[in-house]
Amino acid sequence: MPGPNAPAPLHTRRTSRIGRLRTRPLLWRLGRLRVDPFIASLLGTVALAALLPARGAAAPVVSDAATGGVAVLFFLYGARLSAREAWNGLKQWRLHGTVLAVTFILFPLLGTAAHLLVPSVLTPQLYQGLLFLTLLPSTVQSSIAFTSIARGNTAAAVCSATFSSLFGILLTPLLAAVLLHTKGGFSAGSVLEIAEQLLLPFAAGQALRRWIAAWTARHRAVLALVDRGSILLVVYSAFSAAVVGGMWSTLSLPRLAALLVTESVLLALVLTATLLGGRRLGFDRGDLIAIVFCGSKKSLASGVPMAAVLFPGAAAGLMVLPLMLFHQLQLMVCAVLARRWAAQAPAAEASRPHEALARA
């Protein structure tokens, strides 16, 4: 009979070794999973609004601060977007037209069709938020980043994402006025308010770009904090109004789960349409990747301030919730696609993954 210090039998040691080999990759993968800091900040802001919403005299102060944050945000957008680079990219008009068609035609059509899910799957308020997110422009930063990672046509992604943002400032409010009947319908007053809060700061940033472009490039990290801080302020204001107005009492976990499933189907349909449609139109691999990533995304950075302008008060909170969920979903799915396409990239493209991004 073996003593207490005797070595374990061979089959026991082998089983233990196999168990460790199987466990290590799992632990390694779990250790690599990280929550996006900005998403964590958004969730923390929502929790803060739920626990300590802006009430009474503090509410108008927070609302005015959020309005100022929106103006700063769109001023910085205007200061960063290079009109010359955008015009230089016009030669790829088929690619840009495809992305714009997906963003402002296919997405809204799918959002309108989702009305069939009301009220059995989605509440009317959640459907309104879902429809609103389908009207938004594409993202700029993540579309370019994922296209670069996947070894796609990064220069085309820069131009397409830029065009989408520029068109979105005009098209999203117009589509919202038609499909969502914001502010009781489309009127000259709503046009002036949108121009004052969105277009005017953006135009000011474009006008001053030649003098402040170098300064914004040097202080990119600080301005990124200003960007995100402005968005968090708008989210806090919108969700505070929703909490005070009692609108969150209409939501339940099954409804939120149904919303997440609906958005997953929406994203899958658009990804499939951009992939198959791009192939049918004869685009090469690099252009196809740019179309998929630029066409399938919706901008949280543009959507939150636009919601604050178009849906003041408690309504903005529920309008933003579907967008926040879709934003995280699109990041996770597109990250997987970008890594897979990067692994399949031809050697010539893999040797210069960030060349076009550096030029942009």
* Residue 80 scores a pLDDT above 80: no
* Residue 114 scores a pLDDT above 70: yes
Q: What is the pLDDT of residues 136-146, one digit of tens each?
A: 999 877 888 88
Report the amino acid identity of residue 319.
Answer: M
Mean pLDDT, rounded, of the chain: 78
Query: Residue 316 corresponds to which tokens in the numbers above?
Result: 């903005």
Compare 113 and 43 and report the one with higher pLDDT. 113
Mean pLDDT of all residues in 308-326:
79
Q: Scanning the structure block, which residue is given the tokens 């609302």? A: 63
Determine the pLDDT at residue 89: 58
Query: Residue 327 corresponds to which tokens in the numbers above?
Result: 């934003």
Q: What is the pLDDT of residues 256-292, one digit of tens each?
A: 899 999 999 999 999 999 999 999 999 999 999 999 9
Domain boundaries, the chain: 56-359
Fold for domain 56-359?
Na+/H+ antiporter like fold (1.20.1530)
For residues 127 and 259, give the distance between their C-alpha atoms in angstroms, rounded to a whole number.
9
Determine the pLDDT at residue 327: 85
Mean pLDDT of all residues in 204-217:
85
Determine the pLDDT at residue 162: 79
Question: What are φ and ψ of residue 9, in 5° steps?
Answer: -55, 155
For residues 230 and 238, give the distance between their C-alpha atoms in angstroms, rounded to a whole number.
12
Q: How confident is the model at residue 90 (pLDDT cuts 50, 70, 90)?
A: low
For the entire predicted model, the pTM comes to 0.72
